[in-house]
Amino acid sequence: MTNLLRIMTCSCLFVAMSLAGPRLHAEGKDTDKIKASGLKVEMIQSDEIKLPAEFQVALYENLIQQFGKKAGFLHVYREGDHDAANVPELVVLHSTVSGFKQGSEEKRQVTTVAGATSITIHCRFTDDQGKVLLERDVNGKVRFFGDNLKATSDFAKKAAVMVSENFSATGRS
Amino acid sequence: MLNVISLILICVTAIPALSQSTSQYQVGTITSVQPHKGTAESDPSTAGYEVSLKIGNAVYVVLYTPPSGIETVRYATGRELLVLVGKQTVTFNDILGNSSEVPILSQSATGTQSSPTSAAQSNNPANVGPQQQAPIKSTEIIGLAGVKENTEGTLTIEDGKLYFAHSGAKSDVAVAAMEDVVTANDSQRAIRGTLGTLSMFGPYGSGRVLSMFRSNVDCLTIKYRDDNGGLHGVVFTMPVGTAESFKQELVAQGAHTTIPAPTNASVDSSRQVAVEAKQ
């Protein structure tokens, strides 16, 4: 009987720790996150490395879509949006192309190993005063299936995950 | 005697070569197919089609009357074929090698107003305006508000607005709000979608062979501002040879572009990048 009681107590403790651990860890991580109430996405710049216009637009639109899905706690503003002017704790994303290799869908499908498309974007998050909050290089690739523009979607998904990992909404505990 | 016979034989052999026409076949691309209104109204059973052919820097609109019951020409947009351009007609060979001759309704250099070459055009209101105002089959790749990615529809320019009609709905963008309109060339698989993906797993490499069948498309990329000043971008694909004329129509109606005066109708992105770099 005593043994049974001990086993049950241990089990309860184990379950409680299992459930509480990640939650406490998450809360601890949340306090490390950068507080923001909105995110303004600037158009992708490609001054040094020339990027076809359709890639530039697809990157920008995919970013806005993915931020809406995966970083929904932030209000996403487009470049030039007048509503963003009065938003406190607004984070601005400046993206610059640092690497681009346009592959070929045909080559990918025929050879499997050749023809990958790859884009590397330097993402710089600043506050409204221009102070840098976070800087990362994010890569987008398409190796096997899909057209070349799929690399832009891959990049946007990774960038959205990065935002959700590093930013939290203002007022959230 | 033997020498004389040899000389005669050589001359006889050379005659067909010398008598050949100096005209040469060229590669033409079908950019649009529209029903010919005049024919359809008079006799619907013998419906003809106005087929726009882009040959070099010129666009020819020819009247094609298909054999009875064969309407495959309606789906021929984007197809390339060898054509021989005459003064009033265009000659082409079908897949069986039969030669056909069709009359030219109008002819225009890419990016210029069409000039009538026959009386038929003056009777046809569809040919009076610029050719690019006709609805163009297009696919919205990304960016149009309220429209899913890879949605097929038709693009038109009416009353200073660009309309994208798709499955009963219509989205529009004001031409005056367009900050940049850029064209490019691309290619896409002939078999796309789920079937295209599944075909990759075909036996004995047949999927790989199928993926080599590709059709050329034009890309039209537009950056525009919404009412709130927010920057948007949208990418369309359309039949080859149509994007540049469409862009020029947009520019004529007030859209802006970073590439104002293209030297070639099929300006690809890399060429545009080179032009930007020079500037």
CATH number at residue B158: 2.30.29.30
Q: Is B146 on the interface with A (CB under 8 A)?
A: no
pLDDT of residue A58: 93
- Chain B residues inside the 8 Å CB shell of A54: 141, 182, 184, 186, 219, 221, 235, 269
Residue B86: inside a domain: yes
- As a whole-number percent, the residues of chain B with pLDDT over 90 amount to 16
Question: Is residue B166 domain-shared with residue B264, that is, in the same domain?
Answer: yes
Topology annotation, domain A33-169? Rossmann fold (3.40.50)
Residue B192: inside a domain: yes
Which tens digit of pLDDT belongs to each residue from B252-263? 888 999 877 555
pLDDT at B67 exceeding the cut of 90: no
The values of phi and psi at residue B268, to 5°, are -95, 165
Question: Is residue B141 domain-shared with residue B122, that is, in the same domain?
Answer: no
Q: Please tell me which of the candidates A52, A53, A80 has its beta carbon nearest to residue B230.
A: A80
- Chain A residues inside the 8 Å CB shell of B235: 54, 57-58, 149
Residue B253: inside a domain: yes
Confidence of residue A171 (pLDDT cuts 50, 70, 90): low
User: Collapsing DSSP states into helix, strand and coil, what is residue A45?
Assistant: strand
Q: Please tell me which of the candidates A57, A80, A106 has its beta carbon nearest to residue B214.
A: A106
- Tokens representing B14? 């050379």
pLDDT of residue B190: 58
pLDDT of residue B230: 94
Closest CA to A54 of B147, B251, B185: B185
pLDDT of residue A172: 47
Residue B273: inside a domain: yes
Residue B5: inside a domain: no
For residue A125, give the amino acid letter: F
For tokens 């001990």, the residue is A6
* Neighbouring C-beta atoms of residue A23, cutoff 10 Å: 9
- The CA–CA distances, whole Å, from A164 to A39, A89, A137, B164 equal 11, 16, 16, 34
User: What residues contact residue B33 under an 8 Å CB cut-off, 6+ apart?
Assistant: B49, B50, B51, B52, B73, B74, B75, B76, B77
Last residue of a domain, one of B106, B126, B146: B126
pLDDT of residue A4: 79
pLDDT of residue A155: 94
Which tens digit of pLDDT belongs to each residue from B177-215? 999 999 987 766 656 666 666 766 777 777 666 666 667
Length reported for chain A: 173
Confidence of residue A154 (pLDDT cuts 50, 70, 90): very high
- As a whole-number percent, the residues of chain B with pLDDT over 70 amount to 63
Last residue of a domain, one of B126, B154, B183: B126
Residue B172: inside a domain: yes
- Chain A residues inside the 8 Å CB shell of B187: 105-106
Question: Is residue B165 domain-shared with residue B274, that is, in the same domain?
Answer: yes
Interface test with A, best of B231, B267, B278 (most A CBs within 10 A): B231
Question: Is residue B189 domain-shared with residue B241, that is, in the same domain?
Answer: yes
Question: Is residue B146 domain-shared with residue B271, that is, in the same domain?
Answer: yes
pLDDT of residue A45: 92
A34-43, B222-231, B263-272: segment of lowest average pLDDT? B263-272
Q: Please tell me which of the candidates B182, B197, B222 has its beta carbon nearest to residue A145.
A: B197
Which H helix or E strand runs over B23?
Answer: none
Question: Is residue B96 domain-shared with residue B152, that is, in the same domain?
Answer: no
Distance CA A112, CA A96 (A): 29
pLDDT of residue B44: 52
Last residue of a domain, one of B95, B126, B157: B126
Q: How many CA atoms lie within 13 A of A10 on its CB side?
A: 6
Domain count, chain B: 2
For residue A54, count CB atoms less than 10 angstroms from its CB and return exposed for 0-12, middle for 13-18, buried for 19 or more. Answer: buried
Average pLDDT of chain B to the nearest whole number? 73
Q: Compare all CA atoms of chain A with the CA of B213 and give the residue at the minimum distance.
A: A106
A69-94: average pLDDT: 90
For residue B115, give the amino acid letter: S
Question: Is residue B253 domain-shared with residue B160, that is, in the same domain?
Answer: yes
- B81 touches B72 (CB < 8 A): no
A163-172: average pLDDT: 81
The per-residue DSSP string of A90-155 comes to EEEEEEEEEEEE---HHHHHHHSSS--EEEEEEEEEE-TT--EEEEEEEEEEE-SSS-TTHHHHHH
> What DSSP character marks residue B52?
E
pLDDT at A86 exceeding the cut of 80: yes
Average pLDDT of chain A to the nearest whole number? 84
- As a whole-number percent, the residues of chain A with pLDDT over 90 amount to 45
Residue B37: inside a domain: yes
User: What residues contact residue B50 under an 8 Å CB cut-off, 6+ apart?
Assistant: B33, B34, B35, B36, B61, B62, B63, B64, B105, B124, B126, B127
Nearest CA distance, B60 vs chain A (angstrom): 29
Question: Is residue B38 domain-shared with residue B104, that is, in the same domain?
Answer: yes
ipTM for the predicted complex? 0.78
Q: Is B195 on the interface with A (CB under 8 A)?
A: no
pLDDT of residue B270: 45
Query: Which is more confident, A103 or A132?
Result: A132
Q: Is B190 on the interface with A (CB under 8 A)?
A: no
**Residue B65 belongs to domain spanning:** 24-126
Question: Is residue B167 domain-shared with residue B269, that is, in the same domain?
Answer: yes
Q: Please tell me which of the candidates A52, A61, A81 has its beta carbon nearest to residue B269.
A: A52
Q: Compare all CA atoms of chain A with the CA of B182 and give the residue at the minimum distance.
A: A53
pLDDT at B91 exceeding the cut of 80: yes
Query: Which is more confident, B56 or B45?
Result: B56
Which H helix or E strand runs over A43?
Answer: none
Which tens digit of pLDDT belongs to each residue from B93-128? 776 667 788 888 888 766 433 333 333 333 343 344
Question: Is residue B51 domain-shared with residue B111, that is, in the same domain?
Answer: yes
The values of phi and psi at residue B169, to 5°, are -100, 160
Which tens digit of pLDDT belongs to each residue from A13-66? 777 767 665 555 555 555 678 888 899 999 999 888 888 999 999 999 999 999
Residue B16: inside a domain: no
pLDDT of residue A131: 92
pLDDT at B266 exceeding the cut of 70: no
Question: Is residue B155 domain-shared with residue B90, that is, in the same domain?
Answer: no
pLDDT of residue B96: 65
pLDDT of residue B29: 79
pLDDT of residue B197: 67
pLDDT at B130 exceeding the cut of 50: no
Distance CA A171, CA A165 (A): 17
B232-238: average pLDDT: 93
A6-10, A169-173, B113-117, B274-278: segment of lowest average pLDDT? B113-117
